[in-house]
Every structure is written in C-alpha cells, then in structure tokens.
Structure 1
Amino acid sequence: MFPSQSNIYGLCKADEQELLPATLKGKVVCFRYQDLQKKIRPVAREIQFTYIPVDAEIVSIDAKKKKTSSSKKYVRVHAFFCCLYLSVSFSSRDSGDKATPFLNIYCDYEPGSEFNLESICTCLNLELQFTPFQLYHIEYVIGALWRSSETVFLLSGHDQRIQLYKENASLHQFEEQPVERLFPELQELPSNVLWLNVLSIEQNRRLTAFGCQNGSVGLSLVNQKGPEILQNWRVKHESPICTVLLFPSKQQHQSTDTNSSQRESFHLLVTSAIEMAVVYRDVERYGLSRQLCLAESDQCDAVLCALVVDLDFDGQHELFLPVCTIMCLICDLQDLLCYKFHQPMGAFEDKLQLLWRWSFKSPLLSLIYLDLDGDGLRELAILTLKGLLRTTADLVIHILSTLVSRLPISPKDPHTHTHTHTLKNQDSEEESISIINEPRTAATQH
C-alpha cells in the first residue's frame, strides 16, 4: 500500500529486478525480491531522492541504466528521471503560490562494483515552461557503422510539443536539444501527446507512434541514418488516446512456389478513453488503413494502460487491457482482459480472440513485465490505484492450469516434471504451489 495514489506514468524499471513506483505525494519506493534464509521475500523501501520538496507531486518517472567502459576502468552510469510538478515554487520568491513544474535528472558517474540507489547525489534540476505528461526513453543508434547507441529521453507536455534530453558526455550531464535533429517526425504535432512509443526495426529504421489528447493517432516510418521520414500516417479517433503500443508478430504467408513461410510484421495497439480498443495490422505495409477491433473492449469507460507480451511461452503475444467503468469505481473492481491472435478454419487472416477476463479489487494504472525474483521467468507487475500487486500467483496458475488441461500428456511421460515455487499472494500469505510445466522448459523462452 502507498501513502497516496500513483498515476499511469508512475511506474518504471530501475533494473531488471527492481521496480520504482512513484506516488503523487512525492514518494518513490524501490521494490524488489530478496533471497532471505532460502526464501524469496518482497522488500520495499522508500528512496530519499534529493531536491524533492515535501509538497511536490510526481507526475511521471523513468529510469535507464547505462554501462560504459574504458581502457582503465569500468564505470556504471545510472540516470533516473523524475518529472515533478510542485504545488509551491522554490525557484522564485515572487511567484508566491504559483505551481511550477520541474524536471529532476539524477545521475551517478562514479565507478563502482555495485550501484546503490541510496548513494545518488548528483541532481540536475530544470524548470519547465509546461505541464509534463509522459517521460519516455529510447536507445538511439549512433556512429559511422551504426553499431552503437545512446539513451535519449523524450518528455511530452501540455504545450503540444515533445522535449528531447540528451547526454553531454564531456560535461557529464544531460542537456535539452531540438527534437527535430533526431526525431523529425515529432514536429508539428496535432495536439498534446499523452502517449509515445518507438520501435526499432531492421535496416536501421524505426516506427514512431503517438496518441494525442484530441484523439489523433500518428505513425511514422523513419530511416535513422538521416534521420529521414519515409512515410507518415494519421488517423482521428473520437476521444483522448490513452495508450499506443507497437509490437511485432510472425505471420504465415504463401509464396509463389506454394510453400508457406513466416514473415515478421508490426502492429499498433491503440486504446482510448471511451472507444473500443483497436489494432492496426501490418502498419509497415498498410499504415493505419487495416483496423481490427477488440471485442468487449467498448464495454467500459476507459482503458488506462496496456501490455503486449508472450505470457504463456508459445511464441505468440497476448494483449492485456485493464478496463475501467463507473461500476468498477463504485464496487471497487476492475477487469483485466486478455486477447490473442488466432486464425479460424478457412479464414484468410487471423483474428483477435478474447481468451479470458480477470477481476481485481482496484483500478489498474500500469503494467510491467520483468524478472523480479531472478529465477529466469518474468513476472507481471501491476500498479493499482491503491498500491503495487507484488505477485500475480492466482493469475499465472489460472493460465497454466488452462493450458495443462488442453495437453494430451500421459502421466508416465518422462518429459513431464513438477516444480514447486514459493509465492506470496496479495494477502501476504505464503503458499507452496506445484505447477506442471510443459515438456519444453519455459525459462529458455526469455
């Protein structure tokens, strides 16, 4: 449980095994699992970042760990970005009670064998001229041979622009730079951007998607070497866009010699405040012209977040949508919908099928998929209105039991084996759960 609620921009990964949820009342918590006396136990501690006043509200948070090496030493560089909106300004005595937004950039440039969040003391404090929204980082390809990359951060706001922050290696700090130098597709935006997503693809190209407050959705195909915009697409929805997510998939297609083969295509998931969630198919080829609606996603008032991952290890992605309705807020329940592509017999192309829905006791704000306990299998971390769900044991058991019931496995099959995991449910009670795995090892899938 948190001292105050968070929001849709309030959860990020500090490392592959650490989560950083932030609350609106200026508190940042580091959550991870530790092996204590041969038992995996959750540990949560508040991080005391400097230059965060007691009356600050954290609007968004993002983090990226960067590793650099030299001939003499190995340096771990960690950059933590907290986007702050202060209820009382401390930059000017004349501003009175006027609210002033700031961007705090926390970096650690000291060499060391292990990084500790508590030791970060370097902070760059930047006053903003706009109300911030999403803070997003991306690995940008650089160098003559385009084999290296560096991290840049993008911040959207209510001024209908996106700000770019890039590291100045010689000065050991981040600086604001014109966004058009690296991201020309993010100029002349139709409205305030609420969500941004960038996906690098083959041949040094990228797909950039954004969703706006006025319902506009933008998609661009960009050659990163220029950078040069190869193609732009735009479409208009009827309500504010909550999430845009680009994701790949393998599709069967028939070649001229009647032999079928797989081709990687890229799709765009779009969720909005009051409309049905949609997936735009094969956007690299068709842009935003091929729309596929998600059944029952319109039976809600808003989809605040979304996630696309392969949760059941079958090589195909599942689409997760938490749906929120007025009744959910009244009765304190919210559903998580799971969709999957399937191709009906005789159909020309596959469809999205609603597999199941799962109810939670609080509205869901953010989803992250990562290996929290370091056992080689990733977990689904869920940020809710009331706090962070530390495990999803019931959800995983429900999925695996459904899959196992469909497998025609003999009890004497030598490849079938049982693992016992110690998990902690939402009520903090330890449970020993036996799970029958599929014949192939699930841990090798991630």
Structure 2
Amino acid sequence: MEQLKDAHYFHMPFQGNIYTMTELRLSNGKVPILAASLKRDIFYFEYLESSPTLEPATKEISFTYIPSGAEIISIDAFNKSSVINVAVIGITIIKNSNDSDSLETFLNIYSQLEEDEDFNIENIAQNCLTLELNFIPYHLTHTELITWDKDYNFNKKEIVFVLSGSDHQIHIYRENPMEHIYKEIDSYEFFPEFTKTPSPIVWIDILYMNNYEERITAIGCECGYLKLIKVDTKVKKTVYNFSTRFTNYIAKVNLYIENETKHLENFNKGTLKICCEKREISRPILNLVVVNSILPSVLFQCFLVMFSNLASVTIFH
C-alpha cells in the first residue's frame, strides 16, 4: 500500500455529478475513462505505453447531437465483444424547450457501425441515435439480458441499457441488430424486480451468479428506500425480496463478492449467528455497501445467507 500515490489528474472546466464518469473496457485489456461535465464537455482519458513508464493522455471529444445550452446528466459505456472492439456509449441530456416552463430530455446512443480491432473514439462520437424521453433521466448503466429456451437451456446473452427516471421507474433499451437501432422494451417482462418505487431511483447495481441463473439487484432511492432482490432468470420470478428505509438520501449502492467461496462457519466469527443445524455450506460471500449523502455508509454482509434463511445477518453502520 505504501507504493500507491496520485498518478495523474486533469482539469475539468465545469463540474459533473455522480453519473458523469464511466469506464470502457477494450478488447486489448485497456480501460480508458470518459468524464463529462454538465456543460457538454466530455474528456477521454487513457494511459499510453511509453517504456519504461505509462504516459497519461487526455483529450476532449466532440460528441454530435448535444445542442448548445444542453446539460449532460449521465454517461455510460460498454464493449459488446471481448475479442474485438464494438463500443457503445450512452449519454443522457436535458435542454430547455421553446416553452420556458418545460424541459426536453434525450438519450443519445453512440456506436461503431462495424466491428473493428482498432478503436477510434472520434468516429464513434459522430454516429448517434437519439431517443426522446418523457421523464428526467437519472442513473444510466447497463447489464446483460439473459434468455433461455423452452427447456431452460442457455439461449442468448445481450447487453442492454438500464436507465432510472423521475417517473420512479427503470427503463430498458434494447438493440435491434437488424435495424441498428435501440428501442425501449417492457422492463417487467425480463426484469420483474423493476417495479415502481416510492421516489426516483438514484442508483442501481446488478450482479449475475450461478452461471446467469440468478440475478441480484440492489436499488437505492432518493427518499432513502433500499430494495434488494434475487431473481430466478430461467422462470423470470422474484425469489427473495428485502427492503428497508434509511432516514436520508441514498447516493450509491454497490454489490461486491468478498471471496469466491468460503465456509459459512469460518466466516468472520461474531458476524453471523448460525440458526440452523450445523452443516457444510459453500456460498459466495456477497456484500452490499449503501452510501448515504450525510450519514455514514452501511454495509450488509453476507446477505445471501439472509436470503436463504440460514442465518441472521449483522448490519454495520
């Protein structure tokens, strides 16, 4: 840890928000960063190999169809392939309409027209599909949409955009590869956990487990409402549903696996109280961090055990 130090920083002309930075994983293993300001400026940051060190490089990228006066709300990016670069970048914007009392909101999706080993961010920034929204956008992210055949065999995996909004709902945008367009689909058909919430959803985190047969979703809302759901993706049914409410604004929720596998009896003695007869249980240790805007963060430890009703879980404040 003593070796860690600040590597590089660059100046942003205007401030951003919690949604205006994202990473993009390329096929060569590099992970450049896209950082946006509210006033339309978008910067591309990467490290260039320059023996014996790495050289930081930052450049401003001009994305089309972001009109003057518009503000960037959120940005997200992903690569559809692990072998070559098929990059897709989503940007939500808000701008004043002719009516001074209303706003216009859009989701711009930028993508490569063809699969290519070379990556050119400037070319991607010129190829835009614009979708008009009827709500104010919040968190823009992405996840896999998994489909199974009638015999419950793995059929297809594709990446979709996930966008929360001021309408207290989560919207899914799926690509039609034949027409090279994205369209909103019925989220409840594929994601039964995406039900309407008491207030706008500030952050969503999604994690697949057990060879994509299980999906864990964490949802944090503006009013402090937290929802944690486990879904069986084969039958598209909610298996477990836990919710609670904090006393202040939730800024972020983050799911993470602490270890690949660990025996429950040996996990952090004093944290878990075993309330079933002793037996060998081997499960991933999955935790959830809830970041509040004012109060200290909260850690839900090993909550898969809670879902399975095998033990009680201690919540650390």
Q: Give TM-score, length-normalised by structure 1.
A: 0.59
- Contact 2:165/2:201, CA 8 A, preserved across alignment: yes
For residues 213 and 5 of structure 1, what CA distance do their matches in structure 2 show? 21
For residue 273 of structure 1, report the CA deviation from its aligned partner.
Answer: 2.0
> What code does the residue aligned with 2:229 have?
S
| Number of equivalenced pairs | 284
In the alignment, which residue of structure 1 is the partner of 2:297? 277
Paired-residue identity, %: 31
**Gapped regions of structure 2 (runs ≥ 5):** 1-10, 267-275
1:66 partnered with 2:98: no
- Structure 1 residues 269, 113: closer, same or farther in 2, change over 3 A? closer
Query: 3-state SS of the aligned residue for 1:67?
Result: coil
Deviation at 1:112, TM superposition (A): 2.9
Give yes or no for contact 1:76–1:110 (8 Å, CA) kept in 2. no
Matching residue's letter, 1:119: N
Cα contact 2:218–2:227 (8 A) shared by 1: yes
| CA positional deviation for 1:96 | 5.1
Q: How far apart in 1 are the matches of 2:292 and 2:117?
A: 44
Kept in 1, the 8 Å contact 2:305–2:313? The answer is: no
Cα distance, 1:147 vs. partner?
Answer: 6.0
Structural mapping, 1:335-414, within 5 Å: none
1:254 Cα shift? Answer: 4.0
Structure 2 counterpart of 1:213, from 193, 216, 222: 222
Residues 58-93 of structure 1 show CA distances to partners (whole Å, capped at 9, x for unaligned) of 111000111299xxxxx743211011112x33xxxx
Q: CA deviation at 1:260?
A: 7.8
Which residue in the other structure is 1:432 paired with? none
Counterpart for residue 54 of structure 2 = 40
Compare 29-38 and 48-57 and name the one that shifted more.
Answer: 29-38
> Residue 327 of structure 1 corresponds to which residue in structure 2?
none
1:196 to 192, 195, 204: 204
1:54 to partner: Cα distance: 2.6
Of residues 1, 13, 21, the one that matches 1:11 is 21
Which residue does 1:177 correspond to in 2? 185
Describe the superposition over 1:29-62 as per-residue Cα deviations: whole angstroms up to 9, x where unpaired: 0000112465421110011111112322111100
Quick one: distance in 2 between partners of 1:284 and 1:259?
16
Matches within 5 A, 1:31-180: 31-36=45-50, 38-67=52-81, 76-86=85-95, 88-89=96-97, 94-95=98-99, 98-120=102-124, 121-144=126-149, 145-146=153-154, 148-180=156-188
Which secondary structure state, in structure 2, belongs to the residue aligned with residue 170 of structure 1? coil
Letter in 1 for 2:316: C
Partner residue, 2:313:
290
RMSD between aligned residues: 2.6
Using the alignment, how far apart are the partners of 1:146 and 1:261 within structure 2?
26
CA contact (8 A) 1:221 1:284 kept: no
Larger radius of gyration: 1
Q: Please list the CA deviations of residues 140-192 of structure 1 after superposition, one character each: whole Å capped at 9, or x if unmatched.
A: 22343326411011111111111110111111111111110111111132221
> Would the alpha carbon gap of residues 176 and 260 (structure 1) be closer, same or farther in structure 2, given more than 3 Å must change?
closer
What is the match of residue 3 of structure 2? none
| SS of alignment partner, residue 95 of structure 1 | coil
CA distance in 2, matches of 1:271, 1:41: 33
Distance 1:77 1:18 in 2: 14
1:282 CA drift (Å)? 2.2
Equivalent pair of 1:78/1:109 in contact (CA under 8 Å): no
Letter in 1 for 2:264: H
> Which letter maps to 1:103?
L
1:253 to 2:264 alignment: yes
TM score, norm. by length of structure 2: 0.82
Find the aligned partners of 1:259 and 1:219 in 2 and give their Cα distance.
26
Task: Classify the secondary structure of the residue corresponding to 1:274.
Answer: coil
- SS of the equivalent of 1:119 reads helix
CA distance in 2, matches of 1:219, 1:212: 12
**What do residues 173-223 of structure 1 show as CA deviations (whole Å, max 9, x unaligned)?**
111111101111111322210011111111510111101111110011100
Distance 1:283 1:68 in 2: 31
- Where structure 1 has 5 or more consecutive residues not aligned to the other structure, the ranges are 70-74, 295-446
- Residues 97, 110 of structure 1: CA spacing in aligned structure 2 closer, same or farther, 3 A cutoff? farther
